[in-house]
């Protein structure tokens, strides 16, 4: 997820992505508020003439409602209950997503599809606590475990490498459930 800023109570979603079983979901959302300068520097999103740009190139956007409804349709295409995973989900992604879903009256429908979420940040800390890794950022973990770099602030790339990391780690169900939270 790419957002207009860093405050979970105020920021809006600009890009929402998911990857599962070789299928990608990616949508750009018309910004509902100004993009914070620091967020723009990280994720590459700007607005010019009312149009959302990614690294200076226009992207096709949808309204927040259209984007979230299509995200729900994507999630419904998988066996239920769906378990979402995100890095730092507990502190950022989940609060933002829940807030915007509630704002447009889709939270109940979302909870009918998605049961819980896994936060891969504490998962990495739990799995590798004896290795004394210098960082548990996605970027570091991707470099360390997968020996590659990627566009760390592109939501679809984040989803792809997170799935790859998760599969590489192959955590036990006990490890997964220890960092699983209910929406």
Q: How far is CA 34 from the centre of its chain?
A: 20
Q: Half-sphere exposure of residue 128, counting CA atoms within 13 Å on the CB side?
A: 20
Domains in the chain with CATH codes: 2-182 (3.30.420.10)
What's the average pLDDT block by block, 10 residues per block, for the chain (183 residues)? 95 95 94 93 93 96 97 93 92 95 94 93 94 91 93 85 95 95 87
Three-state secondary structure call for residue 61: strand
pTM of the model: 0.91
Q: Cβ of 101: how many Cβ atoms within 10 Å?
A: 21
Residue 117: the pLDDT is: 95
Residue 183: the pLDDT is: 80
- To which residue do tokens 């927040």 refer? 64
């Amino acid at each position: 997820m790419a957002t207009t800023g860093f405050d979970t109570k105020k920021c809006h979603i600009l890009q929402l992505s998911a990857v599962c079983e070789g299928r990608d979901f990616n949508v750009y959302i018309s910004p509902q508020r100004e993009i914070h300068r620091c967020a723009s520097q990280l994720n590459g999103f700007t607005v010019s003439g009312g149009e959302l740009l990614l690294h200076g190139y226009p992207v096709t956007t949808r309204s927040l409602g259209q984007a979230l409804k299509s995200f729900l349709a994507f999630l419904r295409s998988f066996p239920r209950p769906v378990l979402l995973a995100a890095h730092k989900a507990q502190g950022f992604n989940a609060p933002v997503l829940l807030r915007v879903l509630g704002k447009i009256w889709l939270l109940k429908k979302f909870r009918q599809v998605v049961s819980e979420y896994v936060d891969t940040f504490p998962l990495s800390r739990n799995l590798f606590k004896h290795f004394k890794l210098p960082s548990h950022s996605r970027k570091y973990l991707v470099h360390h475990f997968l020996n590659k770099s990627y566009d760390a602030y592109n939501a679809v790339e984040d989803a792809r490498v997170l799935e790859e990391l998760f599969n590489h780690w192959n955590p036990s169900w006990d490890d997964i459930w220890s960092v699983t939270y209910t929406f």
